[in-house]
């Protein structure tokens, strides 16, 4: 099975969690895109969506699905998104698609976070995938120096400007054995907008696609 087929399986499985008249939080990335395409098939059942990026909002609208601002709707019953890495504790690294800040906001505002991924994303320890950090542009060198002090190797993601007008630093070589603590530590560096650790608010359900179909891990 290809990763694409595995992603398709979990995109379809996530639809099972959607109830009538809900407003759905929708993530960003190739797996979230497949979920959006599945959501289009049941669009008559939902009231609309809140998107975690301009790219996802455009894809949702192209299917004729209503996209609300988060401010218009308040808390959401559900958020569906992919991840770059997950542990069995449902601590995640996200932000490979540079949408981490809005993703973290929509996840925070949602009752249930369903994470969908192919099973290659399940890891014992987070950190093989470089940790994305959204940074205010004028602070990038300062933030990079602080990340070196934490043992990381920060690399500016060239040519990328986030939906919020900021830059992304990817931190290599971090062995993340305490994601909750590291998430707070990095958030306290002046100039950091968001870091890609989703540990304080991890996923509630992880759906992994692979050779044996869909495996569910729940907190």
Residue 163 as a binder of ligand 5RP (CB under 6 A): the answer is: no
Residue 84 as a binder of ligand 5RP (CB under 6 A): the answer is: yes
Alpha carbon separation from 127 to 12, 22, 121, 164, 187 (Å, rounded): 28, 35, 11, 25, 17
The residue behind tokens 């205010």 is 136
Burial class (CB in 10 A: 0-12, 13-18, 19+), 212: exposed
**How many residues belong to the site for ligand 5RP (CB under 6 A)?**
18
- Select from 29, 154, 179, 202 the one that contacts ligand 5RP (CB under 6 A): 29
Cβ distance 199 to 183 under 8 Å?
yes
The residue behind tokens 């289009």 is 40
- Among candidate residues 103, 111, 183, 218, the one labeled active-site is 103
Residue 104: CB minimum distance to ligand 5RP, A: 10
100-129: contacts with ligand 5RP (CB under 6 A) = 100, 103
Cβ distance 92 to 114 under 8 Å?
no
User: For ligand 5RP, which is the closer residue by CB, 8 or 31?
Assistant: 31
Residue 185: CB minimum distance to ligand 5RP, A: 20
Alpha carbon separation from 69 to 30, 41, 75, 112, 182 (Å, rounded): 22, 22, 11, 19, 30
Residue 28 as a binder of ligand 5RP (CB under 6 A): the answer is: yes
Residue 27: CB minimum distance to ligand 5RP, A: 5
Residue 54 annotated in active site: no
- Select from 23, 76, 99, 126 the one that contacts ligand 5RP (CB under 6 A): 99
- Residues belonging to the active site: 103
**Site residues, ligand 5RP (CB under 6 A):** 27-32, 81-84, 94-100, 103
């Amino acid at each position: 099975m290809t990763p694409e087929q595995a992603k398709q399986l979990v995109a379809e499985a996530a639809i099972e969690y959607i109830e009538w008249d809900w407003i759905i939080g929708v993530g960003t990335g190739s797996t979230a895109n497949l979920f959006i395409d599945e959501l289009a098939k049941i669009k008559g059942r939902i009231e609309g969506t809140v998107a975690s990026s301009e790219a996802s909002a455009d894809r949702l609208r192209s299917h004729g699905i209503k996209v609300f601002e988060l401010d218009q709707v308040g808390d959401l019953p559900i958020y569906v998104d992919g991840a770059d890495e997950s542990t069995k504790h449902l601590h995640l690294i996200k932000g490979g698609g540079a949408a981490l800040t809005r993703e973290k906001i929509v996840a925070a505002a949602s009752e249930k976070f369903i994470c969908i991924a192919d099973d290659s994303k399940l890891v014992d320890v987070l950190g093989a995938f470089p940790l994305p950090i959204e940074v205010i542009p004028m602070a990038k060198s300062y933030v990079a120096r602080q990340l070196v002090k934490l043992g990381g190797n920060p690399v500016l993601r060239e040519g990328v400007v986030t939906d919020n007008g900021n830059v992304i630093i990817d931190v290599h070589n971090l062995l993340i054995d305490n994601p909750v603590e590291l998430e707070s530590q990095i958030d306290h560096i002046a100039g950091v907008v968001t870091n890609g650790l989703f540990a304080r608010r991890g996923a509630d359900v992880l759906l992994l696609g692979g050779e044996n179909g869909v495996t569910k891990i729940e907190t």
